[in-house]
Structure 1
Amino acid sequence: MSVPLQPAELYRHSLRLLLNKAIPAWVDLWAEDGLMEFPFAPPGWPSRLEGREAIAAYMRSYPDHIDLQDIPDLQIHQTAAADTIVVEMRAVGRLVETGKPFEMTYIAVVTVQDGRFTSYRDYWNPLAILEPGANFAAAGR
């Protein structure tokens, strides 16, 4: 019997999967009833995804739109709740459709139970989609 990964370990593993464009394996890290939220999502964009299937549908085409290449800045903070972490990170890559650089900073509050993501609140910056030339709408957001 294997010991489930702790929240910080699971999160680092999930980033490796995203960098390798292994979306089905990334989705497998989620609890069946996992909840992904985007509190700052602009109008017309999803703000809440309920269940692994909804998360899978949302992420399925991510590599077709964003070529994620590196996470050069990553800080994981443990909270008073052992199953919850706060993540600060910066992701870089390129937009597949245009070839333009992609860079986004994130803060996420992530809860893990039994080695699976159960809650992920992604506080990404919606102002970035308003920058000239930015086209994140096609990126699955």
Structure 2
Amino acid sequence: MAPPSREVVERVLRAGREQDVETFVGLMAPDGYLEWPFRPAGVPGRVQGRPAIRRHLTGTAGSLITVHEHRDLVRHETTDPEVVIVEYEAHGTVVATGAPFTQTVIAVFRVRAGLIVSYRDYVNPLPLMAALAGATDGR
């Protein structure tokens, strides 16, 4: 029997925070996708399929932001047992500058048979854009 959707979401959030690419990818459905509807230039809108997700995460893990913790996490279970919505603040460090980093996140997950088929990450892009600007300015 597949674990409840909320448990799968908790695992993938932990894997993302810990930069555990293999666990993260293993929790995705083979054709599952990550999507960022609001994003700065240069960030893809969607990455689909385990190989593409692995390449994306491997290429970006720890390169710009290191997230140390998720604060004020609120999980919303819906009337659809496959859908879980989470909101939280990601707290970490900008790798290039050592500056503190905080970003507000709302994410919508669809989990089927214990695997994530969609992960829509509605991050506030402004802190990420500021971190990117600081990294390229040498600040």
Give the match's secondary structure for 1:72: strand
The root-mean-square deviation of aligned C-alpha atoms, in Å, is 1.9
Task: Give the Å deviation of 1:129.
Answer: 3.2
1:88 partner amino acid:
E
Residue in 1 aligned with 2:78?
A: 79
Task: Give the Å deviation of 1:42.
Answer: 3.1
Residue in 2 aligned with 1:35?
A: 33
Contact residue 73 and residue 91 of structure 1 kept, 8 A: no
Residue in 2 aligned with 1:88?
A: 87
Q: Structure 2 regions of 5+ residues with no counterpart?
A: none
Aligned residues: 134
2:64 partner amino acid:
H
Where does 1:104-123 land on structure 2 (aligned, <5 Å)?
104-123=103-122
Deviations 1:53-112 (A, max 9, x none): 111111113124322111112111011211001111111111222111121111111000
Residue in 1 aligned with 2:132?
A: 135
Q: Which runs of 4+ in 1 moved over 6 A?
A: none
1:22 partner amino acid:
D
Contact residue 65 and residue 96 of structure 1 kept, 8 A: yes
> Which of 46, 49, 58 is 1:48 aligned to?
46
Q: Percent identity?
A: 37
TM-score, with length taken from structure 2: 0.86
Contact residue 16 and residue 24 of structure 2 kept, 8 A: yes
Q: Which moved more, 1:43-52 or 1:109-118?
A: 43-52
Q: Structure 1 regions of 5+ residues with no counterpart?
A: none
Contact residue 101 and residue 127 of structure 2 kept, 8 A: no
Contact residue 93 and residue 103 of structure 1 kept, 8 A: yes
CA distance in 2, matches of 1:92, 1:28: 25
